[in-house]
Amino acid sequence: MVAEHRDRKELKSGESQFETNRNAGFTTAVTVGRNGVFNGESAVIDLAGDSVSAMIVKSPFAEHISFATIRGQYPVSLLGTFSALRQMMLDAQRLQEIQKLYAANPRGIKRPESDKSLEALIPVINRQIPVVFNANSEREIVRALDLAKEFNLKAIIAGGQESWKVADRLKAQDVPVLLSLNFPKRTTAASADADPEPLEVLRLRAETPKGPARLAQAGVKFAFESDSVKSIGDFFTNAGKAVENGLTRDAAVRAMTLGSAEILGVSAQTGSIEPGKIANLVVVKGDLFGKDRAVKQVFVDGKLFEIKEQPKPAETTPSNGGRAVPNVAGNYSITIDIPGQPLAGTLAFTQQGNLLNGTIQSSLGTAPIRDGKVTVEGFTFAATVEYGGSTVDIIVKGTVSGNQISGTIDSPQGAIPFSGTKNP
């Protein structure tokens, strides 16, 4: 468990890496590491800029903590994770006391050893920066609130799927919520042979869309976040479901704009249209919460990005000039262009007609692909991979030209390009 990671060091400039997010109507994001319990310090960035410094709106924003258990390592349980977190907070307090004593009068006192992990927590225990607890269940949120109260932390809950259950306590402790719009969906096939879903699962799926309205009614500060959303399109779709379940349209828009900026501590720079603020604007045609929504223009720090109309999916019919579905079967060595840490991997495809099967493999492990399809335009598939002690759903889109393969991997953190060659 280490807390000293700074995600700004891994951030790189380049506008193409954020194209998918901008096209969906996003101008600003929080970027943070993904490994272990301590995810590190985050930065608030604009999704465009000629340099990293030009993209930074605020750095650091917060220290991020996930209640992840680590397979084969301590902690292996949620209780163990909280025990370790509490001990590190106590150790950070003790280290700060020793440093103050040494600074006041170093004579006769052993010089304190440097501990970057504990030193990274000193701004947290001093309330100089907030700590974001990634917590979804009521139990996780309650324990995070207990920890925040014990150490007088400036806390924020991220995820917050069941945060509405403890809305009164969130209000009392003045803890805002970065509320994920990853609403639960039915995953089992609807057939006569399928086992009925547990009542708890059915209740969670029915109650989660009502959560935003309940937080608003309780006076809890909240903003919408896209973390863990299966696809970017689900963000606005599920925001619409929140409106259908009692949240006002104005409150929903605020949760995407000024409300977000206030929680991130950047409302003086962005979040609303006012003289002197960063010119981050999105022009949308149609109902923002409807199916006919279309993002037409995005301005990031005053720079215009015209959103090209997406071509309609190709059909395997004579209207395509009789073009046949390409054969993409084979093994491909690829490089996934993760900012600051390119990742080598392998795609192994088998194909039957326009159906695609196989695996995606990297140092993170091997995952089977699902919903694989091949069209005259290329291929798509979904997969679930392990990353940072948790599972992440990805959508992969690409094309094959000769022995060359390229495309994008779309995850809740954005689109990442990949490219490679076919193995002999």
pLDDT tens track for 85-109: 899 999 999 999 999 988 888 887 8
| Domain boundaries of the chain, sorted by first residue | 7-306, 318-422
Residue 91: the pLDDT is: 93
Would you say residue 349 has pLDDT above 80? yes
* CB of 81 closer than 8 Å to CB of 61: no
Q: Round to whole Å and give the CA distance between 411 and 236.
A: 16
- Cα-based angle 408, 413, 418 (whole degrees, multiple of 5): 20
| 40's tokens | 């590190």
Residue 296: the pLDDT is: 92
- Of residues 69 and 343, more confidence is placed in 343
Q: Round to whole Å and give the CA distance between 88 and 145.
A: 17
Residue 384: the pLDDT is: 86
- Cα-based angle 267, 19, 12 (whole degrees, multiple of 5): 75
Which has the minimum average pLDDT: 8-17, 86-95, 177-186, 339-348?
8-17
- Tell whether the torsion through CA atoms of 82, 87, 90 and 95 is positive or negative: negative
The mean per-residue pLDDT over the stretch 314-323 comes to 46
- C-alpha closest to that of 356 among 321, 334, 383: 383
Identify the H or E element spanning 167: helix 167-172
Residue 160: the pLDDT is: 94
Would you say residue 214 has pLDDT above 90? yes
Q: Tokens 């259908």 map to which residue? A: 244
* CB of 152 closer than 8 Å to CB of 175: no
Q: Tokens 């010089």 map to which residue? A: 111
- Tell whether the torsion through CA atoms of 336, 411, 220 and 270 is positive or negative: positive
- Look at the domain 7-306 and name its fold: TIM Barrel (3.20.20)
Q: Round to whole Å and give the CA distance between 309 and 94.
A: 58
Would you say residue 5 has pLDDT above 80? no
Q: The sheet that has 155-159: what strands, in order across it?
A: 38-41, 63-66, 131-135, 155-159, 177-180, 222-225
Q: Calculate Rg over the CA atoms of the chain.
A: 23
Please report, for residues 8, 56, 354, 377, the alpha-carbon distance to residue 50 in angstroms, rounded to integers and kept in the order given: 15, 11, 41, 32
- Of residues 80 and 369, more confidence is placed in 369
The dihedrals phi and psi of 78, each to the nearest 5 degrees, come to -60, -40
The mean per-residue pLDDT over the stretch 165-171 comes to 97
Q: What percent of the chain has pLDDT over 90?
A: 48
pLDDT digits (tens, 9 = 90+) for 247-292: 999 999 999 999 999 999 999 999 999 999 999 999 999 999 888 8
Would you say residue 234 has pLDDT above 90? no
Would you say residue 242 has pLDDT above 90? yes
Residue 340: the pLDDT is: 66
Residues facing residue 408 across a β-bridge:
397, 417
- Look at the domain 318-422 and name its fold: Lipocalin (2.40.128)
CB atoms within 10 A of CB 163: 30
The mean per-residue pLDDT over the stretch 137-156 comes to 95
Would you say residue 227 has pLDDT above 60? yes
Residue 221: the pLDDT is: 97
- C-alpha closest to that of 299 among 275, 280, 274, 285: 280
DSSP, collapsed to helix, strand or coil, labels residue 394 as strand
Q: Round to whole Å and give the CA distance between 406 and 179.
A: 34
Q: What percent of the chain has pLDDT over 70?
A: 85
End-to-end CA distance of the chain: 42
- For all residues of the chain together, what is the average pLDDT? 85
* CB of 109 closer than 8 Å to CB of 102: yes
